[in-house]
Structure 1
Amino acid sequence: MSENRLFRWFSSEDSLVRVFRNSSWLFSAKGVGAVLSIFYLAILTRTLGVAGFGEFMVIVGAIQVLAAVLKLQTWQAVVQFGVPYLLAGQQLAFRKLSAQSFWIELTGGLVACAALWLMLPYGADQFGWSEPVEQAILGYGVIVFLSVRSTPTGILRAQDRFGGNAFGDAIIPIIRFAGSLALFLTLPSMTGFLIVWGLSEFVSFLVMWLMVWRRHEQNHPLRSTTTRPAVSPGLKEFAAFLLFTNLVFLISVIRERLVVVIVGFFVGPAAAGLFRLADQIANSLNRLAEVFARPLFSELSRLFAIGQSRKSRALFWRSLKVSALSGGVLFLCLLLFGENIISLISGPEYLAAFPLLLLLGAATIISLAGLGLEPLLQAAGRARNALLVRLAGLIALGLLMAFLLPNFGTIGAAWAMLISAVVTSIILLVSSRAVISKPRQPVPKLHRP
């Protein structure tokens, strides 16, 4: 009986089962990352102290914001336009799309390297970084910018190969844990941690491309289901989708990283350390949301590509129920065990982060409850709608931060995150009504070779 259930799990073509099956691969990687991140986060916070940890997170956050601004994320474009090629058996067209995405991502990384080289001296003067720290920041930034990881992520997800994607993601926390442990046993320093963080990004980059090339000439899980050739996206359509999805990604990175940088700049490194610790724990919930949302986007793209609008709508409602229930359980766990988690990881001197954790956790869980809305809009070809919603949420966050941060400090910043999350979710739900009630059908076009 159990063998039959296991067989049905791996062979079922039910949309939600496919999403959960692909999520299980990513969850295995995120599960490894969640466990190991507890250990290396404990090493970071206990060895660097509240202020040192805050300064380290300001550096990492600034690099990631710069990467989001200049280095384009291509994985969603590869999935959106590549899945129809794979369904039609057009492997050559899919490879051309992948190559195009690679060069786009690499070019953005080179531009980001130049920007970092120009901006770093000003940052060093502002924060008083020593020359070794400045060199470590430059090395870490160059590795992050030149590690082309988004394109292979899109290739693997378009081909329904989430196992390879999970393996590449799992490498990052493994190396960070091993490197942090080695530093803890020898001589921990901010420079050393930056080197370890850069090494983790570089090895993950190598592993992701190895997983792509390993089955380059083999048949892929998505086989041809139609004899009709897929429609090649025009340059304008491709560029518009890439622009809108990257602006949405940039907004999410700004919410997650730039707020910490702002808190560190206006309140101080110690406040940034407390805020980032709470945000790091709360964002572990966000990582669980991504585990479900990314396979959901791939599955919705597949359903839209084959014209199954009714199935896509049913899949959205089923996923919404699952995510809402999960969000409630997660917040209850934070309320009951949040203080114990903070004390266990970082020590009693970080317990001031508990109120921040509740507010930031609630903000994340509110976003989790509607995580299917944004993938639904993007898969339906309405990436512009998703961008406008995120932009409205970012404007709300900026206005709230401008009022609450100077008057209430870090707790004000946390309230700003929560209120903006509520505003964003409401606007996202309203803007998605047309797609939820009647998803747009693909418009047939003549194929031109």
Structure 2
Amino acid sequence: MEKLKPVSRNMLSKWSSSEDSLVRVFRNSSWLFSAKGVGAILSIFYLAILTRTLGVAGFGEFMVIVGAIQVLTAVLKLQTWQAVVQYGVPYLLAGQHQAFRKLSAQNFWIEFLGGLAACGALWLMLPYGASQFGWSNTTEQAIMGYGVIVFLSVRSTPTGILRAQDRFGGNAFGDAIIPIVRFAGALVLFVTAPSMTGFLIVWGLSEFVSFVVMWLMVWQHHDSVHPLRDDAAITIVPPSRQEFVAFLLFTNLAYLVSVIRERLVVVIVGFFVGPSAAGLFRLADQIANSLNRLAEVFARPLFAELSRLFAIGQSRESRALFWRSLRVSAISGGVLFIGLLLLGKNIIALISGPEYLAAYPILLLLGAATIISLAGLGLEPLLQAAGRARNALIARVAGLIALGLLLAVFLPTFGTIGAAWVMLISAILTSIILFVSSRAAIREPQHRKPDPRIA
């Protein structure tokens, strides 16, 4: 046993200090996975409280509200973390911390002003939702309060700052706060008086606490410097306004498409089929979405690492990293689907009770859709890091168009199971287009600018 201890210490030392690209991705992923792991465990409990106290229809109605807020957020409140990473990493590599802070401040105001616009949109649209579902004035006020907190909590910019500085631990802590607050709040409601208004208050509080914690993590350490190769000399040319706006636009449209695909379908099912159908669909989607969270845990550090490799001109290493990550994600996806096939019914019954078992076939289809996306999760980060965000957007938009057209055909005839089939077909189409679009970047990645990044 004594001989094993130095070996273990040596392995841990290599893990923590290795500059191998895939090890760096896994190391940063481990921080995010710890947060997502906490969230996954706690979400089982608060999802059980939600489904059992609100009932199928009430749970569906609650998820329609949450989904609508998230769609509005994606439409009007721009996600800035990718822009902070894309253009901030070269500044940090060159030690230009003042320029990095200026970039971060610019992205803060972009995100905040988008949040203000989303508040106005919700205020205008809320009466239509209230008339559709018969919400009381108290519920309307709770929805408005929840929306304002979500919209004005600037969380994407600090996320980008922490990821650009390779501080995924702080990012993970900020993310972990949300499920912790939701679990604690749901538990309090369970032993007192559970209601939709109460759950909306708890959900809003979780967003606000995470927002505060995230900025505290940013201010805890002002600057972090990325290691440079000894032979690397980097000259930074700030992005032009056109380049910056184009990147922000393309990455946000791609994000919008993914949110619409994930959340708007639940809202559509709720409006056109009914709250009970939306409840079953959302429960299946929530469980399948836990797999998607695993994909995000890996994809976000992968994007940051690819951005670093492109910034220092290591195109061969970026190609090798992509192929290695593709193999890992494909194998993981297969294992996860087998687990879902064998344990899906038991998971549903354990979390929500036998009245929700009708969600099992929906769960299999949505799980398959998520795992197909998981198998190709490196494609979109590769395109974005290589300056081909437009290609990623085209793939997402094509998948969304197919989703909308097929929903119009399948939803009226087949209901929720038809919507699940549409999600699967859309995922397959999107992955195919992403792979075709990525061929040029895989063969010979290009830098974000032809020459000025590397001197």
What TM-score do the two structures reach when normalised by structure 1?
0.98
Tell me the residue number matched to 1:243: 249
CA distance in structure 1 between the partners assigned to 2:13 and 2:100 by the alignment:
31
Measured after TM superposition, the shift of residue 346 of structure 1 is 0.1
Measured after TM superposition, the shift of residue 229 of structure 1 is 2.7
For the pair 1:424 / 2:430, whether they are aligned, the reply is yes
Tell me the residue number matched to 1:396: 402
| Counterpart among 122, 126, 132 of residue 120 in structure 1 | 126
Q: Which secondary structure does the structure 2 equivalent of 1:222 belong to?
A: coil
CA distance in structure 1 between the partners assigned to 2:325 and 2:237 by the alignment:
29
CA distance in structure 2 between the partners assigned to 1:378 and 1:101 by the alignment:
18
Tell me the residue number matched to 2:450: 443
Tell me the residue number matched to 2:274: 268
Tell me the residue number matched to 2:139: 133
Tell me the residue number matched to 2:372: 366
For the pair 1:183 / 2:186, whether they are aligned, the reply is no
Letter in 2 for 1:443: P
Q: Alpha carbons of 1:342 and 1:446: their partners in 2 closer, same or farther (altered >3 Å)? A: closer
Measured after TM superposition, the shift of residue 296 of structure 1 is 0.1
Letter in 1 for 2:324: R
Number of paired residues? 445
For the pair 1:34 / 2:40, whether they are aligned, the reply is yes
CA distance in structure 1 between the partners assigned to 2:57 and 2:157 by the alignment:
36
What TM-score do the two structures reach when normalised by structure 2?
0.97
- Contact 2:93 2:234 (C-alpha < 8 Å) held by counterparts: no
Letter in 1 for 2:118: A
For the pair 1:278 / 2:284, whether they are aligned, the reply is yes
Measured after TM superposition, the shift of residue 445 of structure 1 is 3.1
CA distance in structure 2 between the partners assigned to 1:439 and 1:68 by the alignment:
29
Matched residues, percent identical?
81
Measured after TM superposition, the shift of residue 228 of structure 1 is 3.3
| Counterpart among 7, 20, 27 of residue 21 in structure 1 | 27
* Alignment gaps of 5+ in structure 2: 1-6
C-alpha RMSD over aligned residues: 1.0
Cα-to-partner distance string for 1:274-322 (whole Å, 9 max, x where unaligned) = 0000000000000000000000000000000001000000000000000
Cα-to-partner distance string for 1:153-177 (whole Å, 9 max, x where unaligned) = 0000000000000000000000000
- Contact 2:234 2:312 (C-alpha < 8 Å) held by counterparts: no
CA distance in structure 2 between the partners assigned to 1:431 and 1:298 by the alignment:
20
| Counterpart among 326, 330, 345 of residue 339 in structure 1 | 345
Letter in 1 for 2:122: L
- Contact 1:89 1:223 (C-alpha < 8 Å) held by counterparts: no
Cα-to-partner distance string for 1:372-396 (whole Å, 9 max, x where unaligned) = 0000000000000000000000001
- Contact 1:360 1:414 (C-alpha < 8 Å) held by counterparts: yes
Tell me the residue number matched to 2:3: none
Tell me the residue number matched to 2:58: 52
Measured after TM superposition, the shift of residue 440 of structure 1 is 1.2
Measured after TM superposition, the shift of residue 227 of structure 1 is 4.3
For the pair 1:165 / 2:171, whether they are aligned, the reply is yes
CA distance in structure 1 between the partners assigned to 2:125 and 2:396 by the alignment:
28
For the pair 1:220 / 2:224, whether they are aligned, the reply is yes
* Alignment gaps of 5+ in structure 1: none
Measured after TM superposition, the shift of residue 221 of structure 1 is 4.5
CA distance in structure 2 between the partners assigned to 1:224 and 1:5 by the alignment:
24
Letter in 2 for 1:410: T
Cα-to-partner distance string for 1:253-278 (whole Å, 9 max, x where unaligned) = 00110000000011000000000000
Q: Alpha carbons of 1:446 and 1:25: their partners in 2 closer, same or farther (altered >3 Å)? A: closer
Cα-to-partner distance string for 1:148-205 (whole Å, 9 max, x where unaligned) = 0000000000000000000000000000000000000000000000000000000000
- Contact 2:158 2:214 (C-alpha < 8 Å) held by counterparts: yes
For the pair 1:93 / 2:99, whether they are aligned, the reply is yes
For residues 403-418 of structure 1, what are the structure 2 equivalents within 5 Å? 403-418=409-424
Tell me the residue number matched to 1:291: 297
- Contact 2:163 2:304 (C-alpha < 8 Å) held by counterparts: yes
CA distance in structure 1 between the partners assigned to 2:366 and 2:225 by the alignment:
39
